[in-house]
Amino acid sequence: MKEIYLDNNATTKVAPEAVEVMAQYFDSSFGNPSSLHKKGVEAERAIKNARNLIDKTLHVKTSEVYFTSGATESNNWAIKGAARANKRKGKHIITTKIEHDAVLETCKYLENKGFRITYLDVDFSGNIKKEELLNAISEDTILVAIMHVNNEIGTINNIDDLANSVKDKKEDALFFSDGVQALGKISINLQNIDMYSLSSHKIHGPKGVGVLVIKDRVKVEPILHGGGQEKGKRSGTYNVPGIVGFSKAIELACSNIEKNQKHFKNLKNRFLEKIEQLDGVRINSPEKSVPTTLNIGFEGVPAEVLLHTLEDKGIFASSGSACASGKRGVSHVLKAIKVPYPYISSSLRFSFSRYTTIEEIDFTCKVLRDELPKLREITNA
Amino acid sequence: MEKVILIKIGELWLKGGNRGDFIDRLVLNIEKQSNVDKADISVEQGRIYIRTKSKAPKLEKRLSKVFGLHGFVEANKVELDYPKIKETATQLMRDKLDKLEDKNFTFRVTASRSFKEFEKTSEDVARDIGAVLMDSFSDKLSVDLKNYDINLIVEIRQEGAFLYFEDDEVKGAGGLPVGMSGRGLMMLSGGIDSPVAAWLLMKRGMLVDAVYFHSPPYTGEKTKEKIIDICQTLSEWKGSEITLYIPYFTEIQTESVKTIPDEFWTLVHRRFMVKITGMIAKDEGYQALISGESLGQVASQTIENMTATAYGSEYEVLRPLLGFDKQETIDFAKKIDTYDISIQPYEDCCTVFSASHPRTKSKPNDLMNFETKLDVDSLISKAMDKIEVYKITSDEIKKHAYNK
């Protein structure tokens, strides 16, 4: 059976080009970049090249890119590190109700450690209201954490504008954004942003690598101590093959971004066109969202049942963000955007990649058209 | 001096004429489960010994999962030479005291003598060794026969003297050796209860295998994985592979809900489960079915419903948890390492097929009447046609054909 993978917001297939460039760093060039001999220098060169490529793509300085083990670490570091470095200035952090768990849970952790957290509401499209953000800023606000693109519904926040407004009101408040779902999908402008996190495996790179961009002007305490890598700010032996693969993945995703965006839009439009012909369907993703993410509610069909039905036909989707779907209960994002009752536990997320084809979308929509009535007959019994 | 693991077998002594069979089975299970070379296990004078060259780190953990074993301890074996026994006792006490931080201890020596030809009585041995230890460690030890910190046990047996400390003894899993009480087929749901029920009957010597009713797309692959994980954990207690039968249950559920009122769904489905498990038992030679039901725990587990769902079954349905409170079951599940697997939140039998108010008191005839509306035979044969079989041990999962 042919497999149709529409769960690219959970993780992606590693691009063959990335696999190819990585191979050498498992084998002949296995050295530790911190070693002083030839083997080390060879590996260090690879890290430098990767870093240069990321700098160019994001238009930041080489010194502002820090490699991590992934976005969970990047998000933890940005928030805890900024909180600890600035706690004398204040103990207030602002975030939103629809952040990734790596941000929300870190904020909750800090809440237990005496910080005050404001969780901003979002509207039906998943966007925060700028006035509410600005009203929430007070004397002791040290950090604002707002994601660039939401992983479950695809909402895009205009972080450049938000950061600008935050700085206008309180110049020394830091602005951090989780950019995991933005990379390779929309253009990224980090001019006003203090910290920004990225993940490799969401853009056809290997798992276990991420980046935290920290602007040179920003003070952040390390959370990992040890051998003093990354200028002493992030210790731990470099994941050389991972970093090399990640950099290749960024190159592939970002050098063709216009072409890819066009492809994504075609996929999304086709999906919408077909799905809107069906009854009992609700598009949960807002109109203005990344074209790679479509969250759709199917009245009267439990999300897991539909997920397994599609799985049986070789189609892989998600019944919530992958990390969260192990937990029972309703998605905090769908709850925050007030998805109405019959849809909230009956929603699936379809997320596309540049490898997704129009034929795959057509087949998926055909399966949905055929299977939904059959399932409803049983679930409505 | 030689280190040996001395195994105590408690209840097996009561087995009279069958004792030999029980001991043979236990030795076989110890060999399999603890990975000990057969040549290193010996049975002498009704005791089981394992010779250990070096203390195998996993041996203790493995032995504690062998049913039929009351307890075990690493003892020091010396030949029946009185000066040597005293010397060993002194050496052991020195090692013991070196490990302890505090300065002063009370102690006693407990001696027993099953080898009556030995020159000294057990009282002599206890008193003499006690005196030797007092001579050597008078600064640290004082005798207290009742409130002692340290109890050195000295057993004089025909095959030698065995010395060990009471607090080094490890409690065994108890029960009877697996293989002594027939074969049973457990209906595993993925919840907390059923693995405990399976474990309890293994403890009483039953060779337990399992059935899981898979209902895609209403139950997912993750649930099946979870069941396999449970079987892996249970196989360590069983001491051999667990065969897992997975009939295809979807059509039974989707067809029955079309004609049957929702308050009876769970019960009708349970009857199908009992029937199918009974068929497998017949094909594969099991003697009983096992269920994790506890009296009155949920609506489907009232005495009326248990009777109705098993009514007409050719095989006894064993329900070892009947008298357990939920918390007692949870405590067991934690002890046998299945709890953390069971609480993973994947849908077990999807909520789609359970009513909000299930019938609490059904009669066999009610349920059998509903069955007349269904083509029971054809539904069951479809479930059996797509049956999957796995043979599962803690380090291997093999797919198998159904043998019938």
Instruction: State the number of CA atoms in the 13 A half-sphere of A267 facing the CB.
Output: 26
Mean predicted confidence (pLDDT) in B239-263: 94
The residue-averaged pLDDT of B37-46 equals 83
Q: Hey, is the C-beta of B355 within 8 angstroms of any chain A C-beta?
A: no
Task: Write down the pLDDT at residue B125.
Answer: 95
pLDDT at residue A320, rounded to an integer: 66
pLDDT more than 70, % of chain A: 97
Mean pLDDT computed over A193-213: 98
Residue of B nearest to A380 (CA): B352
Residue B216 preceded by cis peptide, ω within 30: no
* Per-residue CA distances from A198 to A88, A195, A234, A250 (Å): 28, 10, 15, 10
Across the range A194-218, mean pLDDT stands at 97
Q: Which of A231, A261, A346, A360 is nearest to A298 (CA)?
A: A346
Distance CA A224, CA A222 (A): 6
The closest of A139, A193, A204 to A165, measured between CA atoms, is: A193
Judged by a CB distance cut-off of 8 A, whether residue A380 touches chain B is: no
Nearest C-alpha neighbor of B197 from the set B275, B263, B113, B288: B288
Band of the pLDDT at A45, cuts 50, 70, 90? very high
User: Which of A74-83, A319-328, B248-257 is least confident?
Assistant: A319-328
Residue A325 has pLDDT above 50, yes or no: no
The answer to whether residue B309 scores a pLDDT higher than 50 is yes
CB atoms within 10 A of CB A92: 20
pLDDT number for residue A326:
45
Rounded average pLDDT over A132-137: 97
Torsion of CA A244, A250, A252, A255, to 10 degrees: -130
Least confident of B235-249, B342-356, B379-393: B342-356
Query: For residue B77, what are the β-bridge partners?
Result: B2, B162
Output the pLDDT for position A322.
44
- Quote the percentage of chain B above a pLDDT of 70: 96
| Beta pairing partners, B51 | B4
By C-alpha distance, the chain B residue nearest A313 is B217
Residue B102 has pLDDT above 80, yes or no: no
Q: Count of CB atoms within 10 A of residue A22's CB? A: 22
pLDDT higher for A194 or B41?
A194
Cα(B283)–Cα(B276) distance, integer angstroms: 11
- Residue partners of B156: CB distance under 8 A and separation at least 6: B80, B111, B112, B113, B114, B115, B118, B120, B122, B125
Mean pLDDT over B83-109 rounds to 91
Contact A83, A145 (CB under 8 A): no
Angle (deg, nearest 10), helices B250-259 and B376-385: 160
Beta-strand ranges (E) seen in A56-136 are 65-68, 92-96, 116-120
Q: Are A236 and A226 in contact (CB under 8 A)?
A: yes
pLDDT, tens only, B235-248: 999 999 999 999 99
Q: Give Cα separations from A273 to A5, A35, A125 (angstroms).
A: 20, 56, 20
Average pLDDT over residues A364-379: 93
Q: Cβ of B352 and A311 within 8 Å?
A: no
Query: How far apart, in whole angstroms, are the C-alpha atoms of residue B310 and residue A263?
Result: 58
- Higher local confidence (pLDDT), B365 or B35: B365
Amino acid letter, residue A129:
K
- Mutate: best of A311, A328, A378, partner B, most B CBs <10 A: A378
Q: Cα–Cα distance between A306 and A319 in angstroms, integer?
A: 9
pLDDT value for A323 = 40
Cβ B216–A308 below 8 Å, yes or no? Answer: yes
- Judge whether B347 and A327 are in contact, CB under 8 Å: no
Helices (H), A88-239: 101-112, 130-136, 159-169
pLDDT at residue A1 in the model = 87
**In sequence order, what are the beta bridge partners of B76?**
B3, B163
pLDDT for B352 equals 73
- pLDDT band for B53, please (50, 70, 90 cuts): low
Are the CB atoms for A10 and A200 separated by under 8 Å? no
- The pLDDT value recorded for residue B36 is 84
pLDDT of A321 reads 47
Check residue B161 and give its pLDDT. Answer: 95
Q: Rounded to a whole number, what is the distance in Å from the CA of B372 to chain A's nearest CA?
A: 19
Chain A residues whose beta carbon lies within 8 Å of the beta carbon of residue B221: 308, 311
pLDDT at B94 over 50: yes
Q: Which helix (H) or strand (E) holds B394?
A: none
A vs B: CB pairs below 8 A: 39
Q: How far is CA B258 from the centre of its chain?
A: 41
Q: What is the pLDDT of residues A268-283, one digit of tens each?
A: 999 999 999 999 999 9
For residue A302, give the nearest of B254, B345, B352 by CB distance. Answer: B352
Confidence of residue B349 (pLDDT cuts 50, 70, 90): very low
What confidence tier does B347 reach under pLDDT thresholds 50, 70, 90? low
Which helix (H) or strand (E) segment is B387 a member of?
A: none
Mutation for A interface: B254, B343, B349, B353, most A CBs within 10 A: B254
User: Which residues have CB under 8 Å from A49's CB, separation 6+?
Assistant: A247
Specify the amino acid at residue B146: K
What span, in angstroms and rounded, lies between the C-alpha atoms of A335 and A189? 30
pLDDT band at A328 (very low <50, low <70, confident <90, very high): low
Per-residue pLDDT reduced to its tens digit, A219-253? 999 999 999 999 999 999 999 999 999 999 999 99
Band (B39; pLDDT cuts 50, 70, 90)? confident
Whether pLDDT at B157 is above 50: yes
Summarize the confidence of residues A65-69 as an average pLDDT: 97
Maximum mean pLDDT: which of A118-132, B21-35, B215-229: A118-132
Identify residue A155 by its one-letter amino acid code. Answer: T
The per-residue pLDDT for A162 is: 97
All residues of chain B having their beta carbon less than 8 Å from the beta carbon of residue A323 are: none
Residue B300 Rama label (left phi>0; alpha psi -120 to 50; beta): alpha
Mean pLDDT, residues A206-220: 97
Q: What is the pLDDT of residue B13?
A: 65
pLDDT at A381: 65
Structure confidence at residue A299 (pLDDT): 93
Whether A308 has a pLDDT exceeding 80, the answer reads: yes
Contacts of A380 in chain B (CB under 8 A): none
Indicate the Cα dihedral angle B360, B365, B366, B368, nearest 10°.
Answer: 120
Catalytic residue check, A323: yes
Residues for chain A: how many in total? 381
ipTM: 0.76
Cβ neighbours of A302 in B, within 8 Å: 350-352
Average pLDDT of chain B?
91
Do the chains contact at A327 and B345, CB–CB below 8 Å? yes
